[in-house]
Amino acid sequence: PHLGISHLTSSVLAGTFFYLTHNPEVLRTATEEVRSTFTSPSEIVTGTKLNSCAYLYACIEETLRRAAPVPSHLPRVVLPDGMTIDDEHFPASTVVGVPMYAIHHNPAYFPDPFTFDPSRWIESSTTSPEAITVARKAFNPFSIGTRGCSGKRLAYMQLKLTLAHVLWRFDLRLAPDEPGRGGGKEGLGIGREREDEFQMYDALGFGRDGPMVEIKCKD
């Protein structure tokens, strides 16, 4: 879990810094919220004040939507009796799955899906409770159910604490000498040419075989 959470946190932080610096108004709003909530960095701890930073939390949610740490599908194997999904039958042993990236960029759930818009997570005159409910049902960066990420709460805590400290202490901007770094560009291939989209490359972290350890109480 430690390896998984440290990898998740670092990738989401990178994505958040990318989208904040590419959207100066969003960065300004998030920074003002943090600096008006805390009078000093020593106050930035887990608790009521940090949880009250709704816009900061929305920035994290929007980054997880745009750049989920596991953007590809989580494979599942069809059971012996087969399975029918959307009127399409899949025989036993077929590997099925839907990429998280595809779900999170479906306009049926997230209008204007390629826009980084934290306000879509906050009820307002332009965002209805119904729209947020639809988005929440499709939002799935940590998977769900028994296969959901056990470190989800730890990840959110680390992300909120880190971002709050950074925004309170520092003024951020996009590095002027490398304005396009991290984003898409012409020639990268289909789906990778959006300059304002953080580019991620999915990979398996590691594999193992054993060890098998026998444990008994000491004498």
Mean of per-residue pLDDT scores for the chain: 89
Residue range 143-179, pLDDT digits in tens:
887 777 888 899 999 999 999 999 999 999 988 887 7
108 occurs within a structural domain: yes
Q: Cβ distance 107 to 139 under 8 Å?
A: no
142 occurs within a structural domain: yes
How high is the pLDDT of residue 72? 81
149 in a labelled binding site:
yes
Range scoring the smallest mean pLDDT among 12-21, 64-73, 152-161, 207-216: 207-216
Q: Cβ distance 71 to 191 under 8 Å?
A: no
190 occurs within a structural domain: no
Residue 85 to residue 188: CA distance in whole angstroms: 33
Residue 176 to residue 22: CA distance in whole angstroms: 12
196 occurs within a structural domain: no
Domain count along the chain: 1
Mean pLDDT on 200-206: 69
128 occurs within a structural domain: yes
Mean pLDDT on 178-183: 81
175 occurs within a structural domain: no
Residue range 77-99, pLDDT digits in tens:
999 999 999 999 999 999 999 89
Q: Which distant-in-sequence residues (6+ apart) come within 8 Å of 116 by Cβ?
A: 19, 22, 23, 26, 62, 63, 66, 196
156 occurs within a structural domain: yes
pLDDT band with cut points at 50, 70 and 90 for residue 6 = low
Record the pTM.
0.85
191 occurs within a structural domain: no
pLDDT band with cut points at 50, 70 and 90 for residue 1 = very low
* pLDDT top residue among 118 and 8: 118
Domain that holds residue 108: 5-71+100-169
Residue 128 clears pLDDT 80, i.e. is over it: yes
pLDDT band with cut points at 50, 70 and 90 for residue 45 = very high
